[in-house]
Structure 1
Amino acid sequence: MLEALRIRDFRLLWFARLISLLGSWLLVVAVPAHVLQVTGSLAATGLTLAAEFLPPVLLGPIAGVLADRWDRRKLMIATDVLRAVAVALLLLVRDPGDVWLVYLALVAESVGTVLFRPAAQAHTPVVVGTGPALTSANSLNAVTDGTVRLLGAPLGGALLGIAGFGALVWIDLATYLMSALAIMMTARLGAAGAREEGSADRFFAQLREGLAFLRAERSAASLLVVITVFLAANASLSALLVPFGVRVLGGSTQTGLVMSALGAGFLIGAPLIRRLVDRTPLAYLLGGALVATGMAFVLLFLSRSLVGALPAAVLIGVFGSAALVTTQTALQRVTPNAVLGRVSAVQFTGEAVATFFGAIAGPAIAQVASLDFAACLAGGVTVLSGLMAVALLSRTRVVAAPA
């Protein structure tokens, strides 16, 4: 799994991802907690989530064109600086009249992330190639995500009580600048993203080119459909996890342990999937991972104590990370690098829309029916996404697209 770390530029990109992601997760609990403390309003606190989802929904496809149109390395550096400036606005929030600055900061930070993610995903195959090193790179990124999930939110919550909100903001700001510096140290590699800007007509022509590729490339389009269905169900289940932990498992401490178990599963799943992605047919690997994830979710929500919940959460992390790494690696391989930014942006836009509506649907169904019914329904949709993967991709052979 460490093969990609032999490549100097990937080591720098991986460090940039690790440090900036950790800084962001330190604020996952701290920002809504600070808004609640300042305003005393649950509605104001809930709007922090909406502020982060709005830019991906509105700007995703545009971000993909820009990632294929501009120098991706420079774009990543610029967006890291933008996010550092955005986070700095949080230092000015001291009373209820300042809460609008929180939403402005979160929207600006999210805009930076929307631009950064497709550029980073499209730049990775340029750095490591599309062979086994790409699987290694994506597996390492999954390990990074799992580690941060495991440590970031609990660490942020602890530091919030010890050092205060302002200290966490300064840490997050510093991590974005450190990420920008690491990316600046990478080589200036020629890529599809280093093209002239052109006219507005050319901009929309490039947007149409990306959509035309998805219409023509069945495997890429099928992957996006399957993963979007999965992410909608996953968002519903994630939205139900905190109420389930508090009401059924016994409180916030138990909920935190379940979240840590999910992170542990991500750590376990990454090295396992590294061995399977290059050896197992895509349809059966992705389909099996999604079916197993759905079944593990049902087991989790049918549990009535940590004895059953923690093993189920670990399994969700293992198979969920396998599904995500498999999808990302396959998309990077079948998509020519010239349009990879646009295809990645479509993926992230679908993820944002699915997450937004899934997060609304899960609690709404639980309110009308029951929490157990809503969870089992979402678990069933996850299993359905796995069956869709087998049906849509069983005749697909993943062949690396020309650069």
Structure 2
Amino acid sequence: MTKNLRPYLNLIKENKDFRRLWIAQSVSNFGDWFGLLALYAIIGRYSDSEFLLGLIIVVKMLSLALFSPFAGYLADRFNRRKLMIWCDLLRGVAVVGIIFVDSAATLWLAYVLTAIQMMLSAVFEPAKTSSIPNVTSEDNLTNANIISTASWSIIFTTGMAIGGFATEWLGTTNVLILDGFSYVISAWFVYRAVIPQKRLSKEEMYRTRNPFKGIKEGLSYLVKNRHILRPSLAKGTSTVFLGGLVYLLIIVSEEVLMMGSIGLGLLYAARGFGTGIGPIIGRRIFREEKDWVLLMGLAITFCGVMYLVVGVVNSIGLMLLFVLFAHAASGANWVSSTVLLQKRTQDTFRGRIFSTEWLLFTIGNSFSVVIASLILESGIMTVKPLIMVYGGVMALAGILWSFTITPNEKAWRLNTQQGTSNTKS
């Protein structure tokens, strides 16, 4: 076991800049998941609307989506390290501000501050993901992303599980204050890290001084490079369905399991644990990078099938097991697509490419949650059949990926190999 973990442990031990960036991510992520159930509890306290509960997820996703194009432009144009520090500090202020929501009349403040928090996250995330190749070698890039994803999942698991109990025992105010403080700690570790970055040339800086020009160049770069476009679609394709399914777990915990925050904490813990082990399993089965686009389609299909089963079973134990399996596939999809984008994208475009990926991801997530919440609100379908529909259509989307995107990837690799052979000859 220790031998299998040695490459990851050595990377953390020997690379201090990656270690500091990793700790910063881990601390702020723990605060996020620790405080999320407190936010849900505040909305539930002042409203019994399923739509308003789903709306906070939509606000989070749409805020990320609407600001993502501009955020990617900032991440390529300015110092990413400084951007991350400021984003952390300001996110901490936004989170703590939610404690001033004390009635149904002030509930709007939770949505506004959450939107601000997510707009800042829209800058932080592409800046962080774009920085990972600059603090690790190419040989360690996959390991670095597995560490980041596994850490996210462990923190998600513990944060959600502890957050469920903390919200009950400490109260929402104390939980949100601790969440805000986690951002301050994160900013400190980013401050201590050395993060190299290839900056735009003076000519590029001048040419893209208009943000819309810079954003347009990023989109043009993505469309022209189909080998980059393909992995950038993987998370968005998955979350068109997975976003609604994760939202439906909230309703399952409340109305089917009758376990409230504790049940949701357990379901989200299974989600997090699956996300952590999925990339490790995926790398063992699909060792060759050339097979990773195929892996993405298979992962989407498998995830959908597992959620279809979740819609059938009623036991908390079985639900936890199949949610874990579903998100193991999702985690493998996430890491493989991220690493391909990091390797295939040049540094000066990386922020814009990852922000575009976030845009697709968040739009898909928002659309998925809105549809699911409206279906429940209108009474068209109850939660368990709706999970089965979402899971079944997600499985079909994965099959479609395997018959369209995967052959195009194989054709590109074949052409690239032929081009290399012709050059050598």
Tell me the TM-score normalized by structure 1.
0.89
Distance apart, 1:332 and its partner CA: 1.3
Aligned to 2:269: 260
* Residue aligned with 1:213, SS: helix
Aligned to 1:13: 21
Q: 1:223 aligns with which of 223, 231, 238?
A: 231
Alignment size in residue pairs: 397
Aligned to 1:119: 127
Q: 2:397 aligns with which of 376, 385, 394?
A: 385
Distance apart, 1:246 and its partner CA: 4.2
Q: Distance in 1 between matches of 2:190 and 2:48?
A: 39
1:128 aligns with 2:132: no
1:332-374 CA-partner distances (Å, limit 9, x unpaired)? 1111111110010011111111111101223444642454443
Letter in 1 for 2:405: L
Tell me the TM-score normalized by structure 2.
0.85
Task: State percent identity of aligned pairs.
Answer: 24
1:363–1:32 Cα change, 3 Å: closer
User: Is the contact made by 2:249 and 2:264 (CA closer than 8 Å) also made in structure 1?
Assistant: yes
Aligned to 1:241: 249
Letter in 2 for 1:294: G
User: Is the contact made by 1:277 and 1:326 (CA closer than 8 Å) also made in structure 2?
Assistant: no
1:245–1:41 Cα change, 3 Å: closer
1:201–1:267 Cα change, 3 Å: closer
1:190 aligns with 2:197: yes
Distance apart, 1:46 and its partner CA: 5.1
Distance apart, 1:83 and its partner CA: 0.8
Unmatched 5+ residue regions in structure 1?
none
Aligned to 2:38: 30
1:21-79 CA-partner distances (Å, limit 9, x unpaired)? 11111111102312443x34536655533432332121111111111111111111111
* Residue aligned with 2:233, SS: helix
Query: How do 1:336-347 and structure 2 match up within 5 A?
Result: 336-347=346-357
Q: Distance in 2 between matches of 1:249 and 1:90?
A: 29
Q: Distance in 1 between matches of 2:67 and 2:247?
A: 24
Distance apart, 1:254 and its partner CA: 4.6
Q: Distance in 1 between matches of 2:110 and 2:397?
A: 36
User: Is the contact made by 2:253 and 2:264 (CA closer than 8 Å) also made in structure 1?
Assistant: yes
1:217–1:199 Cα change, 3 Å: closer
Q: Distance in 2 between matches of 1:360 and 1:139?
A: 31
1:219-260 CA-partner distances (Å, limit 9, x unpaired)? 222223343121111012222223334444454355543332
User: Is the contact made by 1:146 and 1:264 (CA closer than 8 Å) also made in structure 2?
Assistant: yes
1:295–1:87 Cα change, 3 Å: same
Q: Distance in 2 between matches of 1:103 and 1:247?
A: 24
Q: Distance in 2 between matches of 1:50 and 1:374?
A: 18
User: Is the contact made by 1:139 and 1:273 (CA closer than 8 Å) also made in structure 2?
Assistant: no
Letter in 1 for 2:60: E
User: Is the contact made by 2:126 and 2:351 (CA closer than 8 Å) also made in structure 1?
Assistant: yes
1:12–1:100 Cα change, 3 Å: same
1:62-114 CA-partner distances (Å, limit 9, x unpaired)? 11111111111111111111112222322433444443432332122111101
Query: How do 1:2-401 and structure 2 match up within 5 A?
Result: 2=8, 3-5=10-12, 6-37=14-45, 39-40=46-47, 42=49, 47-129=55-137, 131-192=138-199, 198=206, 202-249=210-257, 251-252=259-260, 253-276=262-285, 278-279=287-288, 281-365=291-375, 367-390=379-402, 391-394=404-407, 395=410, 396-397=412-413
Letter in 2 for 1:329: V
C-alpha RMSD of the superposition? 2.6
User: Is the contact made by 2:223 and 2:229 (CA closer than 8 Å) also made in structure 1?
Assistant: yes
Letter in 2 for 1:264: F
User: Is the contact made by 2:161 and 2:266 (CA closer than 8 Å) also made in structure 1?
Assistant: no
Distance apart, 1:185 and its partner CA: 0.6
User: Is the contact made by 2:247 and 2:369 (CA closer than 8 Å) also made in structure 1?
Assistant: yes
User: Is the contact made by 1:134 and 1:329 (CA closer than 8 Å) also made in structure 2?
Assistant: yes
Distance apart, 1:306 and its partner CA: 3.1
* Residue aligned with 1:368, SS: coil
Unmatched 5+ residue regions in structure 2?
1-6, 417-425
1:253-275 CA-partner distances (Å, limit 9, x unpaired)? 55543332222222322332344
User: Is the contact made by 2:57 and 2:366 (CA closer than 8 Å) also made in structure 1?
Assistant: no
Distance apart, 1:122 and its partner CA: 0.8
